[in-house]
Amino acid sequence: MQMSGLGLGAVMLPQVPIMGNPVAEGQLLDPWFDAATKKKLAETALNAARDKGATYTDVRIGRYLQQYLFTRERQVQNIINAESYGIGIRVIANGTWGFSATSDVTPDGIAKCAATAVAIAKANSKFQKEPVVLAEQKGVGDKTWKTPLTKNAFEIPVREKIDLLMKVNGAAMDNGANFVTSNLFFVNEQKYFASTDGSFIDQDVHRIWPTFTVTVTDKASGKFKTRDAISSPMGMGYEYLDGLATEKIAGPNGMVGYRNSYDMVEDAIMAAKQAREKVTAKSVEPGKYDLVLDPNHLGLTIHESVGHPTELDRVLGYEANYAGTSFATLDKWKTKNFNYGSKLVNIVADKTQPHTLGAVGYDDEGVPCKEWDIIKDGILVNYQAIRDQVQILGEKESHGCCYADDWSSVQFQRMPNISLKPGTEKRSVLDMIKGVEKGIYIVGRGSYSIDQQRYNFQFGGQVFYEIKNGEIAGMLEDVAYQSNTQEFWNSCVQLCDKDDYRTFGSFFDGKGQPAQISAVSHGSSTTRFNGVNVINTGRKI
Amino acid sequence: MAILTKEEAKKIIDKVLAFSKADEISASLSGNRTGNIRYARNSVSTSGETYDLSLSVTAVYGKKSGTATINEFDDASLEKTVRRAEEIAKLAPDNPEYVPMLGAQQYVNTNAFAQSTAGIDPEYRAKAAFGSIEPCSKKNLTAAGYMEDRSGFTALGNNKGLFAYNKSTSVDFSVTVRTADGTGSGFVQRDYNDASKLNTNTATEIAMQKALASVNAKALEPGKYTVILEPTAAHDLILNMMRNMDGRSADEGRSFLGKKGGQTRLGEKLLDERVTIYSDPANPEVPGSPFANDGRPQEKVTWFEKGVVKNMYFSRFWAEKKGVKAIPSPDGIVFQGGSESLADLIKSTEKGILVTRFWYIRTVDPQTLLYTGLTRDGTFYIENGQIKYPVKNFRFNESPVIMLNNVEAIGKPVRTNGSLIPPLKIRDFTFTSLSDAV
């Protein structure tokens, strides 16, 4: 479960998955095979697999680029430029999946790899109890898709990125921080998909995540407090760091919400001041509170309590030994009246929303991406399913949410964006707070834990403000809320409108054995939940 | 080909070092063969095997360093990789915390390699899975499990005279067994260097028993309870504490080992006097690597002795700055215990809760090492020395530091995830809510 988390170790150099080999910065911009060459290589694989007896084959020729920068205070800790490329071939033979991958992308290497995939399928077919049933997918022919961006992050010199992080760290230190670590993560997936259905899809996917942790220490008391960035990882280019005023949303007590443009320096200044304020903040009185949850916090709660339990492979038991199963069973879904949440709760899955981590043109099975309902007016109406699963739901078309984190990994069902629709009545966060008598306003992702069937959860946050009689009454510390998924979503009583809507994201969500990562966004507007149990997490050692 | 001998590895590394014109040059050569098999719903879902042999070269000019890797080993490729590492180094910013490479070191002998594991083939894996699935199928239980075997080597060398070589094997197995109606669940995990010690069939029996025994769990009120933590459960909380023993964080006042006035807790009695924790790469039951990634020797280190903080680990930079020994973080640990078995601990318990394992453990407060998480796959109520009935899972909020001050009894350590961990009887363990999860 090392990678299942959404957070990163703040003090030490984060343990992030590096999947490629180190290369020089400039090599990240080197051109790779053009689409015509990739098509030729893919056809080699499709033909070789068919000749060995495969009844279906798909091929992913991928080049995966990463640039990660790590700094602390006034120095660079590490810069990683990594590249990984190769081909993954998945086949069905004797009604069974087989997969093999190789970095030898020569016609000979590809043919051998295809033969291995077929041999594995045939060997595993001896143990197969449930033959693969694949939903039909018409070939889409030659297609291309590219993350819409205005600044390719890999074209921005490392020097400029370091300068930004040094400015961020300096701003935090100048405003009271004792320590600060800051990071920039950039990912580019150049992937070509081909299948025996007649699809040849070339995609260029970009992701970005700027983040930091500010630490304040108080020698006299021995206390230390941290505040993480309230940025979000995005499916965008370097333009996310423009800090456009038009993308800022004013919150209470000078808080700023960032929509599709992030001001990293401004947030670092705020973080340093808030971390300092935390040292002397009031310790929360445990009890029931109405919670006003900012999108940058609520996204994680959505991820854990709606995203994971509605993954069909979990529901069916395929993840039982690792991530677990799900309370959202097929029986509950079949009743068509399982109250997952209150009537205000409308949760959609998609891989199409612009600027999100999930957005692509086609998934890793060549299925065109779309949007579908998971919870409608509070009722559980659907799951997340891929080509070999949708028949279980009585559907004929895959949802298009299959993903592999590398050319060498086999694709499987991964979470699409899972988002809470904003309210239809005009309402800002300031309006919402005015209506709360006894509550807590929570921003940012903190500690998070949920059981293996996704009933019982506990969440912390980055910043907590007490709300008394419609007004912010000061900062709180030692806050965590515990609830049960169904109870929690049924206590949802009010939503801010679309002007407050923002996405939260997870860059390194983990699943499977061997573990794979994926990146996913969760949109929402600020939302109110009534009467949630809050505990005090303060202890003495 | 994936596992080179010491001589074969040295030959390649020496060639690399000879190609370099940098101030300092180091090469790390490692090879692994990893195999796995995964099953769920009593059927194999995936299996595979990967080979990987790769060379990583780090060149240094002054305080600038650059790394390049390759998986081809002809002279031209080796030289090209050295040149690339040198180019990357020249373009890198100065690292103010750079410490020059180590010279020749003395390493202890460890024995972490077993031919039985290195020889595992797809048939062995299929049989291991079958040995776990078959008894479950027969009793209408559902198994989901995973086995991963690895054999490999690592060799390090630099132009200051350091050379290190180690080969090792490991096999990790875990299975979750559930009743057909999903009302009972049991779990077991095993890990060894020597695969001949692994019997997936007998291990699965334990998970089966727990699955059947955990049906119809009763709800107890959350609160403070005496708990018996099986080694798997105890391991997770104790290892979380060990991961926070970085000396620099303590010196900087942002660790549970920091305290008022800017001092650290080194030398202070922090845990119950029966708690002694050390690491020892030469321990025959949990052999570790004789060296850390940067070539520092791994030696026997006592972290807590009779509850007193004896050592912290350091980067070489920080240790030099502070004038202390640069002890690397350990691979695994040995939590010294007594002779009592898990059954003995249960027998001597008037009222308590037996915990098979914890799940989804996350830090709540790094200052006090407060963690939250849940019990999972077999939680039982004990009364008058006997397991009475299964209970619903709990969420806990507890610190290993507080827990290791509330020690009632320490049992006999058993190998768990590469460490030797005893079952622990702890009083006043804090459960804060109930979970309906099975």
Q: Is the pLDDT of residue A14 over 70?
A: no
Q: What is the CA radius of gyration of chain A?
A: 24
pLDDT confidence tier of residue A410, bands split at 50, 70 and 90: very high
What is the maximal distance between C-alpha atoms in chain B? Answer: 73
For B173, the closest chain A residue by CA position comes to: A321
CB-closest option in A24, A317, A454 to B40: A317
pLDDT confidence tier of residue A2, bands split at 50, 70 and 90: very low
Q: Is A331 on the interface with B (CB under 8 A)?
A: no
pLDDT of residue B1: 52
CB-closest option in B40, B369, B437 to A451: B437
Contact call for B376 and A451, based on CB within 8 A = yes
Q: Is the distance from CB of A264 to CB of A163 less than 8 angstroms?
A: no
Q: CB burial class (10 A; 0-12, 13-18, 19+) of residue A540?
A: exposed
pLDDT averaged over every residue in chain B = 96
pLDDT of residue A319: 96
For B361, the closest chain A residue by CA position comes to: A449
Q: Is the pLDDT of residue A212 over 60?
A: yes
pLDDT of residue A464: 98
pLDDT of residue A9: 30
pLDDT of residue A126: 80
Q: Is the pLDDT of residue A3 over 50?
A: no
Contact call for A449 and B372, based on CB within 8 A = yes
Bridging pattern class, strands A256-258 and A502-511: unpaired
| Residues of chain A found within 8 Å of residue B372, distances taken between Cβ atoms | 447, 449, 458, 480
Contact call for B41 and A410, based on CB within 8 A = no
Task: Compute φ and ψ for B15, nearest 5 degrees.
Answer: -60, -45
Q: Is B142 on the interface with A (CB under 8 A)?
A: yes
pLDDT confidence tier of residue A6, bands split at 50, 70 and 90: very low
Q: How close A285 comes to chain B (CA, Å)?
A: 15
Task: Compute φ and ψ for B292, nearest 5 degrees.
Answer: -85, 170
- What is B19-34 written as a DSSP string? H--SSEEEEEEEEEEE
Q: Is the pLDDT of residue B184 over 50?
A: yes
pLDDT averaged over every residue in chain A = 94
Contact call for B261 and A455, based on CB within 8 A = no
Q: Is B397 on the interface with A (CB under 8 A)?
A: yes
| Residues of chain B found within 8 Å of residue A24, distances taken between Cβ atoms | 84, 87-88, 91
Q: For testing the chain A interface, which of B64, B329, B397 should be mutated: the one with the most A CBs within 10 Å?
A: B397
pLDDT of residue B58: 95
Contact call for A482 and B432, based on CB within 8 A = yes
Q: How far is CA A105 from CA A85, A89, A120, A403, in A?
A: 9, 12, 20, 21
pLDDT of residue A1: 25
The interface residues of chain A toward chain B in range 6-45, judged by CB-CB distance below 8 A, are: 11-12, 21-25
pLDDT of residue B54: 87
Q: Give the residue carrying structure tokens 């006592």.
A: B302
pLDDT confidence tier of residue A125, bands split at 50, 70 and 90: confident
Q: Give the residue carrying structure tokens 């590398």.
A: A406
The interface residues of chain A toward chain B in range 405-464, judged by CB-CB distance below 8 A, are: 408, 410, 447-456, 458, 460
Provide CB contacts within 8 A for A448, sequence distance 6+. Answer: A5, A6, A7, A300, A301, A304, A457, A458, A459, A460, B362
Residue ranges per structural domain of chain B: 6-211, 216-438
Q: How close A273 comes to chain B (CA, Å)?
A: 18
For residue A235, give the 3-state DSSP assignment. coil
Contact call for B47 and A223, based on CB within 8 A = no
Q: Is the pLDDT of residue B163 over 70?
A: yes
CB-closest option in B42, B96, B373 to A449: B373
* pLDDT tens readout for residues B289-336: 999 999 999 999 999 999 999 999 999 999 999 999 999 999 999 999
Q: Average pLDDT for residues A430-446, to the nearest whole number?
A: 98
Question: C-alpha angle with apex A271: A268 to A273, nearest 5 degrees?
Answer: 115
Amino acid at A381: V
Q: Average pLDDT for residues A514-537, to the nearest whole number?
A: 97
Q: Is the pLDDT of residue B197 over 70?
A: yes
Q: Average pLDDT for residues B73-85, to the nearest whole number?
A: 93
Q: Is the pLDDT of residue A457 over 80?
A: yes
The interface residues of chain A toward chain B in range 177-196, judged by CB-CB distance below 8 A, are: 178-179
| Residues of chain B found within 8 Å of residue A327, distances taken between Cβ atoms | 436-437
What does the DSSP 8-state code read for residue B306?
T
Q: Is the distance from CB of B213 to CB of B399 less than 8 angstroms?
A: no
pLDDT confidence tier of residue A16, bands split at 50, 70 and 90: low
Q: Average pLDDT for residues A350-371, to the nearest whole number?
A: 98
| Helix, strand, coil content of chain A in percent (nearest 5) | 25, 35, 40
Provide CB contacts within 8 A for B437, sequence distance 6+. Answer: A324, A327, A451, A452, A453, A454, A455, A456, B374, B376, B393
Q: Is the distance from CB of A203 to CB of A361 less than 8 angstroms?
A: yes
- What is A467-527 written as a DSSP string? EETTEEEEEEESEEEEEEHHHHHHTEEEE-BGGG-EEEEEEEEEETTTTEEEEEEEEE--E
For A70, the closest chain B residue by CA position comes to: B95
- What is B54-90 written as a DSSP string? EEEEEEEETTEEEEEEES--SHHHHHHHHHHHHHHHH
Amino acid at B265: R
For residue B37, give the 3-state DSSP assignment. strand
What does the DSSP 8-state code read for residue A310?
G
Q: Is B252 on the interface with A (CB under 8 A)?
A: yes
Angle between helices A264-279 and A158-174 (to 10 degrees): 30
Q: Where are the beta strands (DSSP E) in B140-288?
A: 141-158, 163-179, 185-192, 224-229, 277-279
Q: Which segments of A57-202 does DSSP mark as H helices, in order? A: 107-124, 158-174
pLDDT of residue A10: 29
Contact call for B255 and A513, based on CB within 8 A = no
The third-level CATH classification (topology) of the domain covering B6-211 is PmbA/TldD fold (3.30.2290)
For A411, the closest chain B residue by CA position comes to: B46
pLDDT confidence tier of residue A4, bands split at 50, 70 and 90: very low
Q: Can you read off the two tokens belonging to residue A363?
A: 């998934």
The interface residues of chain B toward chain A in range 196-225, judged by CB-CB distance below 8 A, are: none
Give the A:B interface size as CB pairs under 8 Å: 203
Contact call for A539 and B54, based on CB within 8 A = no
CB-closest option in A77, A320, A408 to B176: A320
Q: How close B349 comes to chain A (CA, Å)?
A: 26
Q: Is the pLDDT of residue A13 over 50?
A: no
Q: How far is CA A448 from CA A234, A300, A326, A423, A490, in A?
A: 21, 8, 18, 26, 20
Q: Average pLDDT for residues B32-51, to the nearest whole number?
A: 88
Q: Is the pLDDT of residue A12 over 50?
A: no
Query: What is the Cα–Cα distance from B434 to B374, expressed in whole angstroms?
Result: 9
Q: Is the pLDDT of residue A19 over 80?
A: no
Q: CB burial class (10 A; 0-12, 13-18, 19+) of residue B284?
A: exposed
Cα A179 off chain centre by = 27
Q: Is B399 on the interface with A (CB under 8 A)?
A: yes
| Residues of chain A found within 8 Å of residue B181, distances taken between Cβ atoms | none
Among candidates A364, A435, A436, which has minimal Cα distance to A402?
A: A364
Amino acid at B248: R
Question: C-alpha angle with apex B359: B355 to B365, nearest 5 degrees?
Answer: 105
Contact call for A76 and B376, based on CB within 8 A = no
Q: How far is CA B161 from CA A139, B18, B30, B68, B158, in A?
A: 60, 12, 19, 21, 6
Contact call for B92 and A129, based on CB within 8 A = no
Q: Is A536 on the interface with B (CB under 8 A)?
A: no
Q: Where are the beta strands (DSSP E) in A147-271?
A: 179-195, 199-218, 223-228, 248-250, 256-258
pLDDT of residue A109: 93
Contact call for B43 and A224, based on CB within 8 A = no
- Reading phi first (left if > 0) and then psi (alpha if -120 to 50, else beta), residue B153 is in beta
Q: Where are the beta strands (DSSP E) in B230-326?
A: 277-279, 301-305, 308-309
pLDDT confidence tier of residue B365, bands split at 50, 70 and 90: very high
Q: For testing the chain A interface, which of B149, B362, B404, B433 should be mutated: the one with the most A CBs within 10 Å?
A: B362
Query: What is the Cα–Cα distance from B301 to B279, expressed in whole angstroms?
Result: 5
Q: Can you read off the two tokens belonging to residue A313?
A: 């492979």
Q: Where are the beta strands (DSSP E) in A343-478?
A: 347-350, 371-376, 379-380, 402-403, 412-413, 417-420, 438-443, 448-450, 456-459, 463-468, 471-477
Exposure class string for A148-157: b at 16+ Cβ within 10 A, else e: ebebbbbebe
pLDDT confidence tier of residue A5, bands split at 50, 70 and 90: very low
Amino acid at A168: V
Q: Average pLDDT for residues A148-169, to the nearest whole number?
A: 96
Q: Can you read off the two tokens belonging to residue A119?
A: 């041999």
Query: What is the Cα–Cα distance from B410 to B234, expressed in whole angstroms?
Result: 11
| Residues of chain B found within 8 Å of residue A215, distances taken between Cβ atoms | 254
Question: C-alpha angle with apex B206: B205 to B208, nearest 5 degrees?
Answer: 65
Q: Which segments of A175-302 does DSSP mark as H helices, in order? A: 264-279, 295-302
pLDDT confidence tier of residue A23, bands split at 50, 70 and 90: confident
Contact call for B364 and A12, based on CB within 8 A = no
Q: How far is CA A308 from CA A315, A374, A416, A451, B40, in A?
A: 9, 12, 10, 11, 18
Q: Average pLDDT for residues B37-54, to the nearest whole number?
A: 87
| Residues of chain A found within 8 Å of residue B68, distances taken between Cβ atoms | 21-23
Q: Is B431 on the interface with A (CB under 8 A)?
A: no
Q: Identify the structural domains of chain A with CATH numbers, from first to last.
A: 21-280 (3.30.2290.10), 283-536 (no CATH)
Q: Is the distance from CB of A239 to CB of A293 less than 8 angstroms?
A: no
Q: What is the CA radius of gyration of chain B?
A: 24
Q: Is B137 on the interface with A (CB under 8 A)?
A: no
The interface residues of chain A toward chain B in range 216-255, judged by CB-CB distance below 8 A, are: 217, 219-224, 226
pLDDT of residue A15: 55
Element of type H or E holding B322: helix B316-322
Q: Give the residue carrying structure tokens 């097929």.
A: A330
pLDDT of residue A11: 34
Q: Can you read off the two tokens belonging to residue B305?
A: 């002795």
